[in-house]
Chain A
Amino acid sequence: DAGVTQSPTHLIKTRGQQVTLRCSPISGHKSVSWYQQVLGQGPQFIFQYYEKEERGRGNFPDRFSARQFPNYSSELNVNALLLGDSALYLCASSLGIGSYNEQFFGPGTRLTVL
């Protein structure tokens, strides 16, 4: 079975632009979470979605938004990009809601903001 997939692999944007990142969870998993990992740091939680609804949100500005589709795939949108948004964006899927479910991570999308 395929693991968590993310697209694109790499992305370069300029300040002020908008970006959309995509994630497909492991088959059968209904929950998707998004994390931001800045170089040299551990991942920081952004959102968790379950059954198409936002169930948890980390300490990120409203420029960050996400949604989950009926097939449980998800998109993360970031508006008005800042240099500080440059990071590896990781998607994780799990069977159910709640971080106590084992999380399985995708390969990430490397976003560079110039």
Chain B
Amino acid sequence: KQEVTQIPAALSVPEGENLVLNCSFTDSAIYNLQWFRQDPGKGLTSLLLIQSSQREQTSGRLNASLDKSSGRSTLYIAASQPGDSATYLCASSGGGADGLTFGKGTHLIIQP
């Protein structure tokens, strides 16, 4: 059974810093890995999706990498802003109709 772990559980940094969020998974036989953002009490916004054949994806100030062999993915946020404050979730896909497996998320606070 796939297990997804996110470290750290919470992070508070000053505005402008570059930061890295970590995601690890126990079963390397994933089809893709997706990063989401969740604002308090809201739904999930898809940020980046990395296919298993890819090493990384970029969107604006966000860069996500994937290393299947080590069971790790990282989300890099450059030049953080207060508007980046949210919970960031990673989720792995086994490819079948068994849904995504999520981590518990990293609660990020960017101090103005």
- Nearest CB to that of B94 among chain A residues? A99
3 smallest beta-carbon distances between A and B, as pairs: A45-B99, A42-B102, A56-B97
Known: A33-B99, A42-B104, A99-B98. A107 touches B42 (CB 8 A): yes
Taking a contact as CB atoms under 8 Å apart, the answer to whether B97 and A43 are in contact is no
Contact B34 A102, beta carbon cutoff 8 Å: yes
**B94 proximity list for chain A (CB < 8 A):** 99
Which residues of chain B in 37-59 are interfacial with respect to chain A, using CB atoms and an 8 Å cutoff? 41-46, 49
How many B residues touch A, CB cutoff 8 Å? 27
- Contacts A6-B43, A55-B97 aside, 9 further interface pairs with beta carbons under 8 A come to A50-B97, A56-B98, A98-B31, A99-B94, A99-B96, A100-B32, A100-B95, A102-B49, A107-B43
Complex Cα spacing A102 to B94, Å:
12
List A contacts of B49 (CB < 8 A).
Answer: 102
**If A42-B4, A42-B89, A42-B105 touch, does A99 touch B100 (CB 8 Å cutoff)?**
yes
Residue A72 lies at the interface, judged by CB distance under 8 Å to chain B = no
Interface residue B76 (Cβ < 8 Å from any Cβ of A): no
